[in-house]
Structure 1
Amino acid sequence: MEYLEFELPIKELEDQLLKCKLIGEESEVDVTETCSQIETKLKETQKEIYKNLTPWQRVQMSRHPNRPYTLDYIKAICGDSFLELHGDRGFKDDKAMIGGLGKIGNQSFMFIGQQKGFNTKTRQYRNFGMANPEGYRKALRLMKSAEKFGIPVVTILDTPGAYPGLEAEERGQGEAIARNILEMTRLKVPIITIIIGEGASGGALGIGVGDTVLMLENTWYSVISPESCSSILWRSWEFKEQAAEALKLTASDMKKLKMVDEIIKEPLGGAHRNREKTFEIVSNAIVKSFENLKNLSPTELVKNRMDKYANMGVFKG
């Protein structure tokens, strides 16, 4: 298990607890009471740290190297029923954007999401979760297939942004994202969107237009990353913590601003601390959201979705 800087007090207590248990196993000394005291202190420390996270610490949590990624969620939720589909039928298959059919119970869903890597080799293979235009065009192809057969769509957001390379711009990165946003507003099947990590810029919005938008507790959603915002406003990355605070990018900020519909509470310590519990919570949230949408007609779905996004940013002075 890797630890972030603000988690070091937790690491120290967990190390102490491990040593205490080893002493008890290797000798005849009764360490039950000592271990119990350390466990109590550990729980108190965890609660104290995680209930007072700053926006920047939430950003760090969203990027935690042990945090589950899109395929982890899909495989855990769907099991062997998931069938990955490939290619945009125009250029190539983008490994940063994955999608396919899967079932939760007896209900089929079209799952689409950005996939990051878990080591150097897979990060390069997945292009660090930054999709090219063909990734967004693949996503749109799968959404249109789902619409054709009346299958609800689940999109899973976890990207530092769309790939900003020269080749991506030459192949129409902006147009591909804009096209997806337009087509998603009028898709005639339910769309459930879940932010599981980083929700950055147009890269996230390209698959982020949903009837129901859910956001895990330790994630962020913003037009720009704190580091990039800091470099623009202060000409330095040193002010990323202030930028994170000013951007109002946390789940609670997004809920308050009505940018998302619901916050999914994570297990104490984050999604990576109890993966199985997190997968169960997310699966239940998908099912619950679909239950609320499944009886709406295509016309009602599109109207409600259009109204929802048209009303964002409206305020009365």
Structure 2
Amino acid sequence: MKPSSDEHIDVLGLGCATVDDFLQVESFPPANWKTPVERTHRQCGGLTGNALIAAARLGARCAYAGCLGTDELSNHVAQVFTREGVDISRAPRLPEARVIHSTIVIGRDTGSRNIFYEVKGVVGAHPSLPADEVIRGARVLFIDHYGMPGNLRALKKARLFGIPVVADLESEAVPHFAQVLAGVDHLILSEEFACQLTREKSAASAAGALWRAERAVVIVTCGHDGCWSVAKESGEKPRHHEAFPVRAANTSGCGDVFHGAYAFRLACGDSLDERIRFASAAGAVKAGQSEIPRLRAVEFLLRKHSRHPTPPARLTAK
């Protein structure tokens, strides 16, 4: 169903979506080895896909406006998005478009994973869509590094309209990377990529190197070691945020969930500390289970570890 023009979007995503086929084994095997598969399951994922599903499960009104194909895997993504409450009415359906297909092998003993992925056809943001009014009507724009001409166009529009942009970037070997990197105001990168990008040896140093006065915040995530942020309100100095202690069962998608939860709380108007704490809790809950968490589980973890729980979401009419 096409949404009416007065319906706002909390988080508008333009990047990649994937179909992820998970294989769980007792322990990841060495080369030239055979090992039995304990469990298999399929889910929709991707940098933007997982972030949108996470935000939707936590209470945000989300829309996906990246490209989808007409093939079986694209149809699967469309069905999952619809079931999860992510609107796809603005996503162009193109015969040449595809979603990424990944096979993810998880070692049950450590919860670590290895990802094998295949990229074919047009993936991610469309070069000239969505329309300006769609971007203007969103509280937060979410992009990644797939479909960079379209991401750059949308980023420029969002900044012009005063819409904050959250980005999850994992590769600099794409067109317009430097321009997109410079234009993002809520930059959240993994420690590995941030250090690779800046040639720094620590997450704190990388966060500092990525900071610029035009940004709202730089966050470098470090898994069970928490994350580092640099922002104006913290004196433009790197600041550490502890992770929530959980037993890892499946770390796949933890960073995506962090991004989606952060975007959701940004749309709510939360402070930086509230955003990071909530996103950290959401990522921690995800690490302890295979599924993207729902709001109740995240709030439970926050209450368990704090005398001052994160306040409830306060989305208001735009």
- TM-score interval (norm. to shorter): 0.3 to 0.5
More helix by share: 1
Q: TM-score, structure 2 length as denominator?
A: 0.37
For the pair shown, the structure with the greater C-alpha radius of gyration is: 1
More strand by share: 2
